[in-house]
Amino acid sequence: MTKPNLARLREKKNEAASFTLVELLGVITIIGILAGLTLGGAGAIRRHGATSQAKAEISALQAACERYYADNSSYPQNPTNCLPTPYDSNNPAGYVEASRALFTNLFGSPRFNASSTNAVTKRYFEPKLGMVNTNTSTSGQANYFIDPWGNSYGYYYDTNNPNVAPLIWSTAGYTGITNTNKWITSFPKL
C-alpha cells in the first residue's frame, strides 16, 4: 500500500467514528421526549395514589362514624354545619371547624399526641400521623383531619335527619366550583 491510501483510510476511519451535530440533536431530542413521558407518568401515578388514599381514608372515617352512631344513637355533630359547598382556599374555616369536631369525636381527644389514658371519650378511629394536622396543637386548638393534598376533609351531619349518614368529602386538591365533579366523597355522585 502506498502512503496516500493509508492516509485516506485513516481519515475515513476517523469520520466513521464521529457523530454529526444533527445526530447529536436527534439523540438529545429523543432523550427529552422519553424523560417527559416518564415524568408525566410519574405525576399521574402520584395523583392516582393520593386519590386511592383519600378514598380509603373517607371509607375509614365513614366506618368510624357508624361505630360512633352504634354507641351514641347519633353521628358526630359539627358546630358550624359546614355545607358541602366549594372549598374556599382563602377562607376554609368552615371545613377546618367541621373536621376538628369530627376529629375530637372520633379520636376521643382534641389533640393527636394525647395518650389513650387522656382520652375524653372512647376512641372510634386511630388515624395515621399524615392524616392529622398537628400544627394547631401548640395554639390550644384541636387537631383536625387532612386529606393527602393537605386540605381539611369536609364533613356535614344534618341534625334534622338524624338517621341519615353524614357526608365526608375531599376536594382532591381542587378549589372553586369548576372541579366539584373530581371531589372524592362518601355520598353518591349525581
Digit-coded pLDDT (tens) for 20-39:
899 999 999 999 999 988 88
Pair type for strands 167-170 and 154-156? antiparallel
Q: What does the alpha-carbon distance between residue 186 and residue 56 come to, in Å, rounded to a whole number?
A: 10
Per-residue pLDDT at 7 exceeds 70: no
Mean pLDDT of 14-22: 73
Tens digit of each residue's pLDDT (9 = 90 or more) over 136-172: 655 667 889 999 998 888 888 888 887 788 889 888 8
Tell me the one-letter amino acid at 188: P
End-to-end Cα, the chain, rounded Å: 87
How is residue 20 written as a grid cell? 454529526
**Residue 186 Cα distances to 11, 29, 65, 150, 190, angstroms:** 73, 45, 12, 18, 12
Adjacent-strand bridge partners of 152 = 146
